[in-house]
Chains A and B, each alone.
Chain A
């Protein structure tokens, strides 16, 4: 029943947005912001359950915890960036939204640097070093 409730809340928000859009645009935008926040506040508890499952699976497979934490951080940055970019786009600032997405991508790459270096280290270990056979 949560899903039906969320759909109804978003419909109510859409109606109120249409009413307020002409008479008070700032209030309409605040309704937009608040509806996004309410829906994600409901969903984030379920996300927590899923992420705990992911962490449990990772521990059982004896994967290094820092990798799992990095992946969680990347997912979080992606969600937050998308939220901010969509709200900024709705406010009419498409260029700022695209810059925000760029910033999100850069932070994600920055977080992935340890994983990339670990992969490169593993690959380099596989490559045989034949420095002894050189003349």
Chain B
């Protein structure tokens, strides 16, 4: 059984890079673009996480026979 831990590092990397870009853009003075970058990074990570969550809930539904819920 292989647990894919690379995705954790991936998300942490995206988070750190986004924080870096956010700080740099804030220093330059473009606060609106900084907020936008943060939002886009969050959405990218959210897509990855949501795929895994959907997979998890499908598995739970199939294992525990929760088809009607």
Contact = CB atoms under 8 A, between A and B. Distances in A.
A2 B57 CA distance: 21
A23 B19 contact: yes
Contacts of A2: 1
B4 to A, nearest CB: 7
Interface string A11-36: 01100100110011011101101110
Given A20-B16, A23-B16, A5 B4 contact: no
Contacts, number: 110
A34 B52 contact: yes
Given A12-B8, A72-B65, A24 B52 contact: no
Interface residues of B, number: 35
A27 B14 contact: yes
Given A19-B16, A69-B65, A44 B8 contact: no
Interface residues of A, number: 40
Interface string B52-63: 110111011101
Contacts of A27: 11-12, 14-15, 18, 41-42, 45
What are the nearest 8 A-B pairs in CB distance? A76-B64, A27-B15, A16-B12, A23-B19, A24-B15, A37-B56, A37-B52, A48-B63
Interface of B: 1-5, 7-9, 11-12, 14-16, 18-19, 38, 41-42, 45-46, 48-49, 52-53, 55-57, 59-61, 63-66, 69
Given A2-B1, A9-B5, 19 more contacts: A16-B12, A20-B12, A24-B18, A27-B15, A27-B41, A28-B15, A34-B52, A40-B56, A41-B56, A42-B1, A51-B64, A73-B69, A76-B60, A76-B61, A76-B65, A77-B66, A79-B64, A80-B60, A80-B66
